[in-house]
Structure 1
Amino acid sequence: MLKRKYLIINIAIFLSLLIIILFSRLFSLSHYFKLQANPEKKLIVVFRNDDIQNFSGSKLELKLFRIFKENNISQTYALVPFEINLLEKRELMKILKEHLKLGLAEIALHGYAHQDLGKRTEFLGRPLAEQFKKIKVGKS
């Protein structure tokens, strides 16, 4: 049931991003914001694809990866490396590596295993050495 909830949330997020991409092609933000005071400033939007893990790699998600690539839009992919063996998600890993090569991806470590610890996080109350070890292993 929890996986279904996460899947529905991910679909809603991706559909929202898709709408943003489509509308950004129709409307220019320059109509709404006048940057004449400091023309060097840029409006930056960050797309973060959270919780790449066991339910990642759906057809919808793969289509969205393609749409972001076609529009040369980068994303931050927040991975949870020890929820599952991400190496088993071959198509997903192929896409992530390709996006990294093209400069369309930034990989972020989003936890270690997403363990259910109640109100605690995976790192809260853990010795500092253990926290650093988990971060190092997670990044590898």
Structure 2
Amino acid sequence: MRKVIIVLDPDLAHSRGLCAVLEREGYRAVSASSLDELQSCIDPNLTVALLLNLDLVQPDNRVLRQIRTIHRRLCIIGLSSRSFHPELKEALSRYIDACFSKPLDLEPLLYYLRGAGDDFSEDPLKILESEEVLS
């Protein structure tokens, strides 16, 4: 099955364009326009990343903490035209795994996603078994 990436962006034109690129790269891209839609889009077995437009979606630290707590393996990637988000200081240091500037350079993003997908493909039960052996 193809790995799922959610694009959370109220700008439908930008979201569709990014989803089309991700589909061409072999991912299944799902578009969401609000935080309310997000939970219903996440499949814990297939969703590897969340691309979050930080300019238009205003998540607070509590929301990002909740997403991270429920979906520990989900790679959260911020997209922003601003270089500084003082209101997201905690989130950027604890819950958001990477942040890319807009306009988006697709090559580094796709490279990062390949790595995130590789990490996600590891079987968590095998990881637990190997950790038990070490302890």
Q: Tell me the TM-score normalised to structure 1 length.
A: 0.38
Q: Tell me the TM-score normalised to structure 2 length.
A: 0.39
User: Which structure's CA Rg is the greater one?
Assistant: 1
More strand as a share of residues: 2
